Amino acid sequence: MNKLAIIVPYYKITFFKETLQSLENQTDRKFSLYIGNDASPDDPENLIGEILQDTPFQYFNYPDNLGGKNLALQWERILENVNEEWFHILGDDDVISKNFVEQFYKHIEDIGKNGCNVVKYALSRIDDAGNMIDEGPEFTKLTDPIDNFMGKFTEGKLNSLSEHIFRKTKFDRYGFKKFPLAWATDDLAILEFSEGKAIYYIDEAKVLVRVSGESISGQQENMPEKLFAIYLFEQYVIRKFYTRLPKQYLRKLINQQISYAYKNKQKLKINLARLYLYLKDYKKLLELPKTYYYLAEKKK
């Protein structure tokens, strides 16, 4: 059986031909392809049959749309069919280089020796026309998951779902967290699925991630939902990983949680007393009654 499954959650046909062609062009065909149609108004079956001449695939034509509720729900129902050891989720407008699968198998023994649960590929972002927007950063072959996390959230390094391969047993254990729009769901998966083991970086192959007006990343009108998703995401990260985060960054996250909760009348779900004790911030501890008072008054 193949070790690698590639999952394509399909909904928009605009760039789907390019995605399919990149799969058909793979120099190593030792992968299982799963395509899940999320009740799209555009039937892709003819296009799939036209492009995938030498690539076996399983196609699932779902009657109901889950991605509109949360993209992670669509990812998960396709993954219910997957038994391979590793899986990759490829966006229906993204493209992989022809040696993507080949490089996975070239490195698979080393990945296993290092106990890695997450594999990261080189990344570039492209626009509607396929023109390069920017190149993703380079990483060391073995990257600490906290360093990877901090790279995105403190240095603005590019990061997306499509340039990662995950060990299936880690998904089975943790699942995907259903933040609004699945925003930051991939960031948490990378951090959580790694289980503290190094992320294995492959730079000999590349993923081209498309940023367009049709993609969630390219839209601005859903900014309130994105901000709420980030609030929930940071809340989860604080509660589960606070002892692994740099203390200065942890303080920043705590302040952001308090600020968002105050401005948006949200209930604060992090334990400030525990966090301030861990940080040895006794001044903040003494100010806790006042902090909770202001939060309670704002919610009235």
* CATH number, domain with residue 114: 3.90.550.10
* Whole-angstrom distance, CA of residue 149 vs CA of residue 139: 12
Is the domain of 194 the same as that of 238? no
pLDDT computed for residue 300 by the predictor:
62
Shared-domain flag, residues 178 and 43: yes
Residue 218, domain member (yes or no): no
Pure H helices in 139-246: 145-155, 168-174, 185-194, 223-241
The count of structural domains within the chain is 2
- Mean pLDDT confidence for 31-45: 98
Residues 112, 24 share a domain: yes
Instruction: Extract long-range pairs of 172-178: CB within 8 Å, 24+ residues apart.
Output: 175/76, 176/72, 176/75, 176/76, 177/72, 177/233, 177/236, 178/70, 178/72, 178/73
Is the predicted pLDDT of residue 197 greater than 70, yes or no? yes
Of 210, 233, 258, the last residue of a domain is 210
Are both 228 and 194 inside the same structural domain?
A: no
How far is Cα 17 from Cα 5, in angstroms, rounded to an integer? 19
Residue 240 lies in a domain: yes
In this structure, are 80 and 164 located in the same domain? yes
pLDDT digits (tens, 9 = 90+) for 210-234: 997 665 555 567 899 999 999 999 9
Considering only CA atoms, give the Rg of the chain.
21
Please name the amino acid found at residue 161. Answer: L
Residue 215 lies in a domain: no
Q: What's the mean per-residue pLDDT of the chain? A: 94
Residues 109 and 227 in one domain: no
* Domain finish residue from 173, 189, 210: 210
The b-or-e profile of 25-60 (16+ CB within 10 A means b, else e) is bbeeeebbbbbbbbebeeebeeebeebbeebebebe
Pair (117, 177) in one structural domain? yes
Residues 103 and 240 in one domain: no
- Give 236-284 pLDDT, tens digit per residue: 999 999 999 999 999 999 999 999 999 999 989 999 999 999 999 999 9
- Same-domain status, 113 and 246: no
* Last residue within a domain, chosen from 210, 236, 260: 210
Domain span at residue 229? Answer: 223-298
Q: Tell whether 32 and 84 lie within a shared domain.
A: yes
> Does 216 fall in a domain?
no
Give the mean model confidence (pLDDT) for residues 200-212: 95
Q: Are residues 134 and 282 in the same domain?
A: no
In contact, 93 and 16? CB cutoff 8 Å: yes
